[in-house]
Amino acid sequence: MEQLIQQLVNGISLGSIYALIALGYTMVYGIVKLINFAHGDVFMVGAFIGFYSITVLHLGFFPALLISMVACAIFGVLIERIAYKPLRNATRIAALITAIGVSLFIEYGTIYIRGAQPEAYPSNIVPLKSLEIFGVKISGQSILILAVSLCLMIILQFIVHKTKIGKAMRAVSHDQDAAKLMGINVNNTISATFAIGSALAGAAGVVFGMYYTKIEPLMGIIPGLKAFVAAVLGGIGIIPGAMAGGLLLGVIEALVSAAGGSLFRDAVAFVVLILILIFRPAGLFGKNVREKV
Amino acid sequence: MLKVNDINVYYGNIHALKGVSLDINQGEIVTLIGANGAGKSTLLKTLSGLLKPKTGEIVFEGEHVAGKVPQLIVKRGISQVPEGRRVFANMSVEENLELGAFLRKDKKGIQEDFEKIYQLFPRLLERKKQLSGTLSGGEQQMLAMGRALMARPRLLLLDEPSMGLAPLLVKTIFQIIEEINKTGTTILLVEQNANMALSIADRAYVIETGKIVASGLAEELSASDQIRKAYLGGH
Ligand SMILES: Nc1ncnc2c1ncn2[C@@H]1O[C@H](COP(=O)(O)OP(=O)(O)O)[C@@H](O)[C@H]1O
Ligand SMILES: [Mg+2]
């Protein structure tokens, strides 16, 4: 039983990382209907920026987290302006292929700049104490991840529902022309969406580094794909769906591991993807309506 | 107030507006009538900056606005209630109205306008927190109008506000349009329901396949045989 709860806690920690990445996928999809396959690589870049902030600039965890988020926000906006904006009226498949190209460019660009060798993340920079609740030991890392993710998600909800830019984002994702008629600058709103989604991915990269203590240039691929599955699981384009989908996927993975299927762990996400596409293609939070043409 | 001079608008190689010119004076209700596909919505979209004319000019209060971005046009005082209402269905009535005031900074003025709009459309007040996608067609039309008014426009463009509404509701909507006009907002009303539109308008233009084919005082047009045959269902 304690074993099980332990795994559940691990699953939630991992899941909240998936959730942070999935939010970027889902927000960008919601507004430009593009699966930004380079999103996992923004997560990787975030992990490295956090790493260098700590090891080279000797910053603490929170300043490093903040720098990584800001840098990734800028990086995300650049990707959007340079690679995706010129294709906004192109076919979806053209944009998708471009996204895959951007992804490869970032991965191999990083390897070209700093080499392919992994780094050991300095996870001891925050004095973390583990907690024991009813005999279940929760590691300091887990608590940190949960706390950071929870805060970011609350901030995100606040931005999306209470601020002007958040309302503009929702308006543009619902109806671009109607949003323009309100005087909303659609280009800036799309950029803001990329900025926020990328900042969350950057944060996810830093906490991922703290948790797994190893980072490398291709580290974004698998978590990126899983976060994509999480976004689809929750209903792509739906923000609470991405949060729930991420957590659920993390927990499912942890439980499968606990049941002795740890070799099977990475495949679970894709089984989930196939099941959801067969039985509930709009996702758990999505309405099963056909898309307007 | 608004002067449209010989504009040509294309969708790719479809020539949708062919040398359209029209004038709107301060304080008027002008209606643009025409059959489905004549180019009415295209004209309104061009006025709002969603489409750029290939040639021709649009002058609003002395400023050339053809081809300017929608933001600037809203800022200058032209708002549109688009065809099919296009309310933000995923947001509440109140949030829709807030978005109408997106470019405004005068908090106090915005608050006053909220009250004015709730007075004009008491239904919206009752449903303030409701998701706008759950409103009836008539309520959505009211919301789309209220939302456009939140920008405090001097010229309001209305694209087929009566579309899909029950006759009684159409009457209410037209009364409200007149009321809005009386408070000083100039109106360009696009309609297929020519009878109703001509009954409240000062002047009218008739558009056919992208060209203005007739114009004049609303009463004169309602009396003209040709117009009656084509748009008012005979006799
Ligand atoms: N997005 C578009 N692409 C191509 N053609 C269009 C588009 N929108 C409208 N049209 C064409 O332009 C003409 C005028 O359309 P529209 O302005 O919507 O007419 P109305 O509002 O008077 O019914 C029609 O022939 C229509 O088929
Ligand atoms: Mg139309």
Residue among B9, B14, B192 whose CB has most ligand 1 atoms within 8 A, to mutate: B14
Beta strands A136-138 and A131-133 are antiparallel
**What is the side-by-side order of every strand in the sheet holding B186-191?**
B78-81, B155-159, B186-191, B29-33, B203-208, B211-217
Is B98 contained in some domain? no
Q: Which residues contact A237 (CB under 8 A, 6 or more apart)?
A: A26, A29, A30, A173, A286
Q: Are B219 and B199 in contact (CB under 8 A)?
A: no
Beta bridge partner(s), residue B80: B157
Is B122 contained in some domain? no
DSSP code per residue over B13-80: TEEEEEEEEEEE-TT-EEEEE--TTSSHHHHHHHHHTSS--SEEEEEETTEE-TT--HHHHHHHTEEE
Q: Are B204 and B218 in contact (CB under 8 A)?
A: yes
Residue closest to B34 by CA, chosen among B233, B169, B212, B223: B212
Q: Which residues of chain B make contact with A174, given a CB cutoff of 8 A?
A: 88-91
pLDDT band at A291 (very low <50, low <70, confident <90, very high): very low
Greater confidence (A74 vs A142) lies with A74
Ligand 1 within 6 A of B14 CB?
yes
Q: Are A167 and B74 in contact (CB < 8 Å)? A: no
pLDDT in tens, B91-106: 999 999 999 999 999 9
pLDDT in tens, A78-129: 999 999 999 998 999 999 999 999 999 999 999 999 999 999 998 777 777 7
What is the C-alpha to C-alpha distance for residues B3 and B25, in angstroms, rounded to an integer? Answer: 9
C-beta atoms surrounding B158 within 10 Å: 28
Is A76 contained in some domain? yes
DSSP code per residue over A62-127: HHHHHHHHHHHHHHHHHHIIIIIGGGTTS-HHHHHHHHHHHHHHHHHHHHHHH-S--EE--GGGS-
Per the structure, the complete domain to which residue B24 belongs is given by 2-87+152-231
Is A128 contained in some domain? no
pLDDT in tens, B128-186: 999 999 999 999 999 999 999 999 999 999 999 999 999 999 999 999 999 999 999 99
Segment 204-263 of chain A within 8 Å of chain B by CB: none
Is B103 contained in some domain? no
- Per-residue pLDDT for A287 more than 80? no
pLDDT mean across residues, chain B: 94
| % of chain A residues with pLDDT over 90 | 77
Residue closest to B120 by CA, chosen among B148, B101, B86, B99: B148
CA distances from residue A239 to A20, A164, A172, A235 in whole angstroms, order as listed: 10, 17, 15, 8
Ligand 1 within 6 A of B233 CB?
no
Is B116 contained in some domain? no
Is B159 contained in some domain? yes
CATH of the domain at A161: 1.10.3470
Q: How far A175 CA lies from chain B's nearest CA (Å)? A: 7
Smallest CA separation from ligand 1 atom 27, residue: B37
Smallest CA separation from ligand 1 atom 24, residue: B37
Exposure class string for B114-134: b at 16+ Cβ within 10 A, else e? beebbebbebbeebeeebbee
Interface with chain B: mutation pick from A182, A184, A238, A285, highest number of B CBs within 10 Å: A182
Q: Are B99 and A177 in contact (CB < 8 Å)? A: no
Specify the DSSP class assigned to residue B156: E
| % of chain B residues with pLDDT over 90 | 91
Q: How far A242 CA lies from chain B's nearest CA (Å)? A: 17
How many domains does one find in chain B?
1
Ligand 1 within 6 A of B16 CB?
yes
Q: How far B222 CA lies from chain A's nearest CA (Å)? A: 32
CATH of the domain at B48: 3.40.50.300
What is the C-alpha to C-alpha distance for residues A149 and A200, in angstroms, rounded to an integer? Answer: 9
Which ligand 1 atom lies nearest to the CA of residue B35?
Answer: 22
Residue closest to A265 by CA, chosen among A208, A209, A226: A226
Q: Are B149 and B98 in contact (CB under 8 A)?
A: no
Q: Which residues contact B97 (CB under 8 A, 6 or more apart)?
A: B114, B117, B124, B143, B146, B147, B150
C-beta atoms surrounding A259 within 10 Å: 11
pLDDT band at A293 (very low <50, low <70, confident <90, very high): very low
How many domains does one find in chain A?
1
Ligand 1 within 6 A of B11 CB?
yes
CA B200 to chain centre: 14
Size of interface A-B (CB pairs under 8 A): 60
Is A286 contained in some domain? no
Is A127 contained in some domain? no
Q: Are B89 and A174 in contact (CB < 8 Å)? A: yes
Is A25 contained in some domain? yes
pLDDT at B234: 52
Per the structure, the complete domain to which residue A73 belongs is given by 2-121+134-279
pLDDT in tens, A163-203: 999 999 999 999 999 999 999 999 999 999 999 999 999 99
Residue among B7, B10, B11 whose CB has most ligand 1 atoms within 8 A, to mutate: B11
Beta strands B155-159 and B78-81 are parallel
Is B158 contained in some domain? yes
The CA-CA-CA angle for residues B229, B230, B232, to 5°, reads 70
What is the C-alpha to C-alpha distance for residues B194 and B230, in angstroms, rounded to an integer? Answer: 10
- What are the helix (H) ranges across A163-218? 164-174, 176-181, 186-212
Span A54-69, mean pLDDT?
A: 96
Is B137 contained in some domain? no
What is the C-alpha to C-alpha distance for residues B145 and B113, in angstroms, rounded to an integer? Answer: 13
From the list B49, B89, B102, the residue facing A182 with the nearest CB is: B102
Is B166 contained in some domain? yes
Give residue A12 CA to ligand 1 midpoint distance, Å: 52
Instruction: Tell me if chain B has a CB within 8 Å of the CB of A180.
Output: yes
Give the containing element (helix H, strand E) for B206.
Answer: strand B203-208
Q: How far A75 CA lies from chain B's nearest CA (Å)? A: 27
C-beta atoms surrounding B183 within 10 Å: 9
